[in-house]
Amino acid sequence: MRSWRLLLTRPAEECTALAQVLAEQGVASSSLPLLEIEALSLDEPQCDLLRTLDRYAAIIVVSKPAARLGLAQASCFWPHLPPLAWFTVGAASAQILQAHGCQVSFPEAGDDSEALLQLPALHQAIAVPAPRVLIMRGEGGRELLAERLAEQGASVDYLQLYRRQLPAYPNGALSSRVVGERLNGLVVSSGQGFEHLRQLAGDDWPQLARLPLFVPSPRVAAQARDAGAQNVVDCRGASAAALLAALQQMPAPAL
């Protein structure tokens, strides 16, 4: 793995943490955050969702920002959270909720919607008359969750807590970083992260599309291939462990 030199594109704080884990394994990286989290103000209907948290058979939190912001907003209405069935897509989001005393279930393998939908605990939670499910998320995304849950008879509400923006970079910043630091792999953590990568690449995308691109799920893998990425690696998770496992399975390309 020591031959890999990766571009990391998560929000700045997460890039720092991931870079440290990679460095401990001898993997070099360079951080160019392509996702900037902006918290959203909640309108009255969204506040009503939080006031009535205890009516939900399941609450699904799709990301770490959703976990942090969701807890902060819920605390305005619930000084002590009622016992609820919480679910997350991955372990990192679960840890944030568990630190606040929440009982959380998440898939042990595969940090994606598909793995969560197969979780027995989720099936059990919604096996009640007229189940309601609340999904805490950013603007857009995770539509598959709502579609599949609706097919199982659940009524789904969204609590949109933030939006992801592309930070301002000068033209050519992405390709200059890749070429200047001789990077040989790109890492994205979400579909929106990939769209920002492609947007920032601009006219240089055909060249960058030849590099190995590490993605967190089959959905993002398909999105990247449709956009012309030629060497997509599905890590089946957005965690550092999932990325390291994928790196171990393939040799780094020579530049």
For the segment 169-203, what is each residue's pLDDT rounded down to a tens digit?
999 999 999 999 999 999 999 899 999 999 999 99
Q: What residue ranges define each of the domains in the chain, with the CATH number in brackets?
A: 5-35+169-248 (3.40.50.10090), 38-164 (3.40.50.10090)
Q: Which residue has the higher pLDDT, 151 or 1?
A: 151
Do 22 and 244 form a contact (C-beta atoms < 8 A)? yes
- The pLDDT of residue 169: 95
- The pLDDT of residue 114: 81
Question: What are the pLDDT digits (tens) for 95-125?
Answer: 999 999 999 999 987 667 888 999 999 999 9
Q: What is the pTM of this model?
A: 0.81
For residues 227-249, one letter each, b for 16 or more C-beta atoms within 10 angstroms of the residue's C-beta and e for the rest, the string is eebebbbbbbbbbbebbbebbee
